[in-house]
């Protein structure tokens, strides 16, 4: 497990890399949070909640977290399972007798577990065009579709992602509990976890709290904004809105040792691989992904104007949440980048720590962005070392250099990057008007680089 203090010392690098990514990719807005165990060690907002009005993002703004809703639905199902009110091997027709069709005999074989793992084989979204006309179906419209064939594969044949399936899970929760889906989630998950900034769907009471969602960025065109729309009966698949702090509370409840919602055996069952496809592994609700040496359990979300990603590294007790308000928001790329940095810290931990009886130097006066005609570079201090990255890269460890300290503000390039003058030195010196200037041993200069958006 990477040391918490070492992770904290990397936050300058993570923060500035994210800041530059928002700038260079012209992302409207971004919020990122990182927690270790029960401590929120990093949370920051970048950019705008509304571009036209130049309203800066704050921690009060809500984001449509879309398919993250499935984690809440799966959690509710497993709470009912723990209480003995259902078995995940139960056929869904036991609770939803209207799930039947003379044209689709495979329906009678679908069980709750199939819906949880996206292995039921049924339609992704039914026959409504809600992702294009933004009119989500009612329950009556969902029921009417069973008059036709909605299955494409046999149960357990393959992973076929299905918002329709998680809509049915929401109805199963209502059937068993006798409560509507929103009331059940509010009472049994949001209230116990003190998630005061999470709502089950958009309505007139919360719409003003939401960040504005934007279209993709096209050359020479402005992004267009999206109107907020209700997801109606599909809220159990894609309806929720939340913020970084609330989502971290949710993931903390899924850490082993936290029994606020249910015991650890339920969490282990939800977070182990239940169905392995060629490109995806699914637990119960959770997606499971290996990023380098770390196993991340979590989910993503895509909604008109919003792309979000989050996850938990269970054995390190690390939670990462990334929320963006654009359909081309690189939430997944940024989350992977943060995980890659954390993996680098864990793998090279001894390189960053000061030796016994060694005083760790202070490089705070020289760290930051520097640029020349060839590009922009970010220098940061992690532990006792100066490191450098190319902040425009999607993967921040693709060009991640740990420099050898010579003396003062003079450093030696390492052997690992043959094209970057290994063995040769560079130095930060006082420049005009009190700024620092980087000079290499060819007398090439890099000057501090500032940007805004």
The separation between the first and the last C-alpha atoms of the chain, rounded to the nearest angstrom, is: 37
Over the chain (453 residues), what is each successive 10-residue block's mean pLDDT? 89 98 98 97 98 96 98 98 98 96 90 98 96 96 92 96 98 98 98 98 96 97 96 98 98 98 98 93 97 97 98 98 98 98 93 79 97 97 96 97 96 93 95 92 93 95
Secondary structure of residue 49 in the 3-state scheme = strand
In this structure, the dihedral spanned by the alpha carbons of residues 219, 304, 248 and 277, taken in order and rounded to 10 degrees, is: -90
Neighbouring CB atoms inside 10 A of 419's CB total 5
Domain range list for the chain: 1-26+344-453, 28-329
The C-alpha atoms of residue 62 and residue 56 are separated, in whole angstroms, by 13
In this predicted structure, what is the pLDDT of residue 148? 86
Angle at 211 between CA 210 and CA 214, to 5 degrees: 130
pLDDT at 266: 98
Which pLDDT score is estimated for 284?
Answer: 98
Residue in the block written with tokens 């949001």:
190
Q: Count of CB atoms within 10 A of residue 68's CB? A: 26
- pLDDT at residue 44, rounded to an integer: 98
Task: Enter the CATH code of domain 28-329.
Answer: 3.40.710.10
pTM, full prediction: 0.96
Tell me, what's the pLDDT at 279? Answer: 87
SS3 338: helix
Of 345, 396, 386, 341, residue with least CA distance to 366: 386
Crossing angle for the helix pair 163-177 and 69-82, nearest 10 degrees?
Answer: 40
**Run of H or E including 88:** none
């Amino acid at each position: 497990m990477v040391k918490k203090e070492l992770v904290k010392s990397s936050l300058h690098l993570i923060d500035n890399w994210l800041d530059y990514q928002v700038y260079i990719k012209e992302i409207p807005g971004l919020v990122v949070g990182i927690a270790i165990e029960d401590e929120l060690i990093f949370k920051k907002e970048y950019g705008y909640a509304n571009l036209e009005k130049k309203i800066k993002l704050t921690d009060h703004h809500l984001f449509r977290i879309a398919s993250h809703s499935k984690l809440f639905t799966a959690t509710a199902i497993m709470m009912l399972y723990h209480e003995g009110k259902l078995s995940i091997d139960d056929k869904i027709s036991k609770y939803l007798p209207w799930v039947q069709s003379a044209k689709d005999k495979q329906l009678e074989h679908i069980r709750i577990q199939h819906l949880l793992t996206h292995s039921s084989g049924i339609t992704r979204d039914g026959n409504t065009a809600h992702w294009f006309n933004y009119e989500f179906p009612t329950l009556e419209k969902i029921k009417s579709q069973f008059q036709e064939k909605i299955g494409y594969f046999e149960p357990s044949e393959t992973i076929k992602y299905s918002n329709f399936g998680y809509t049915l899970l929401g109805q199963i929760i209502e059937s068993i509990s006798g409560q509507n889906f929103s009331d059940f989630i509010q009472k049994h998950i949001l209230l116990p976890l003190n998630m005061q900034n999470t709502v089950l769907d958009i309505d007139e009471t919360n719409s003003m709290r939401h960040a504005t969602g934007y279209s993709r960025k096209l050359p020479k065109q402005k992004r267009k904004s999206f109107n907020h729309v209700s997801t109606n009966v599909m809220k159990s698949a894609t309806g929720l809105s939340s913020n970084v702090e609330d989502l971290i509370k949710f993931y903390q409840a899924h850490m082993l040792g936290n029994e606020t919602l249910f015991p650890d055996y339920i969490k282990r069952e939800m977070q182990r691989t239940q169905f392995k496809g060629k490109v995806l592994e699914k637990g119960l609700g959770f997606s499971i992904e290996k990023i380098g040496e770390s196993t991340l359990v979590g989910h993503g979300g895509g909604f008109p104007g919003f792309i979000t990603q989050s996850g938990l590294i269970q054995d390190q007790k690390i939670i990462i949440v990334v929320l963006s308000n654009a359909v081309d928001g690189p939430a997944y790329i940024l989350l992977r980048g943060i995980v890659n940095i954390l993996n680098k810290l864990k793998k090279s931990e001894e390189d960053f720590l000061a030796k016994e009886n060694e005083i760790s130097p202070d490089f705070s006066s020289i760290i930051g962005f520097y640029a020349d005609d060839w590009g922009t570079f970010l220098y940061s201090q992690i532990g006792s070392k100066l490191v450098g990255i190319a902040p425009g890269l999607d993967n921040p460890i693709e060009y991640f250099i740990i420099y050898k300290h010579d003396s003062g503000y003079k450093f030696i390039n390492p052997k690992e990057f043959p094209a970057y003058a290994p063995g040769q030195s560079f130095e930060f010196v006082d420049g005009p008007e009190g700024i620092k200037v980087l000079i290499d041993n060819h007398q090439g200069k890099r000057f501090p680089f500032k940007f805004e958006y």
